Amino acid sequence: MIRKEDASTAHQEDRISRNEPTVPASRLVRQIDRYLRLLNITREAILCVDDACRIVAFNQGAEKLLGYSRQEILGTPLLDLLCSRFRCEAKNRLAALTRIAREEHLTFQTDRIIARHKNGERIPCEVSLSQSPMLGHSLFTLVVRDSSKRLEREQRLAYRVEHDDLTDLPNRVLLNDRLHAGLARAGRDGKRLAVVYLDLDNFKPINDRFGHQAGDCLLQAVARRLIDTVRQSDTVSRLGGDEFIVCIEQINTPQDALAAAAKLCDAFKQPFQILGTEIDTRASIGIAVYPDHGRDAPTLLRKADEAMYAAKAAAAGPQLYQPPTDAGDSCD
């Protein structure tokens, strides 16, 4: 029952009661107001919900983060602040946090959710939740932190771990992942996969003559040209220096691999325009094919490398891996 002397809080209680059949006691409202004044001291986004998961406190930090004013958000379900696309997942996460806080009385358990700004923008957030008993009522305090910048930093770091700094191509780490996945697909679909090893023939003289900046620009231009030559489903990667690997998937015969490598070789026929200078370069190309030459990534890479050195020694076009000839089988 709301006593007459509590009329000063009736307006706020009526507003809350329109959204929730259970009207909070006036003393609780005053207690929440005092609590809110404390919450506004911090810049953190903090809000409180009752057992029915309706918002009963919303500080200035929460207003700034989520775009709602306190007046328009009090009494509304907490779920209204969740991104609809991830609402079910976030609801389960919050329910788990609430259960831990209620049953184990642990302070500020943390999880991640996707919140929704008033303008519809999705906000990745970390939410810390604790139980806040007040006058016999179970309230829950949530501290909400925008984790967008932290996630962006993590994504940039993860990207850099898997990509070459100079060319932005996949590096050896990502290449190995792509190779393992490609080999699994090839085995499942009854297809072949080719590992094409490219090494620029005259990169050191170019570096010595035109300088390291020109050499770096040439490597970047080679990377772009290789990407433009292969299919979107294939992978172009840089191992380091002037060595590149192209993974050609979904082919039927070793001759398909040779045809793809020939296109890569043709990509070098047109000179590169580097810092106002026309530079000619060629590549020695070796090929190893799954399952003909190996069934795992390390074996295919090693044999493609051997085929590349054979191509370089012969000054020939793309070369398929050839097993060493056993000297004991030769005729004298």
From the CB of residue 257, how many other CB atoms can be counted at a distance below 10 Å? 24
Tokens of 229: 């030559």
DSSP code of residue 78: G
DSSP 89: H
- Would you give the distance in Å from CA 280 to the centre of its chain? 37
- Expressed in angstroms, the distance from the first to the final Cα of the chain is 112
Concerning whether 242 is annotated as a catalytic residue, the answer is: yes
Q: How many other C-beta atoms can be found within 10 angstroms of the C-beta atom of residue 33?
A: 12
| Active-site entry in 6, 242, 296, 305 | 242
Mapped to the 3 state alphabet, what secondary structure does 220-247 carry? HHHHHHHHHHCCCCCEEEEEECCEEEEE
For residues 88 and 106, is the Cβ–Cβ distance under 8 A?
Answer: no
* Residues belonging to the active site: 242
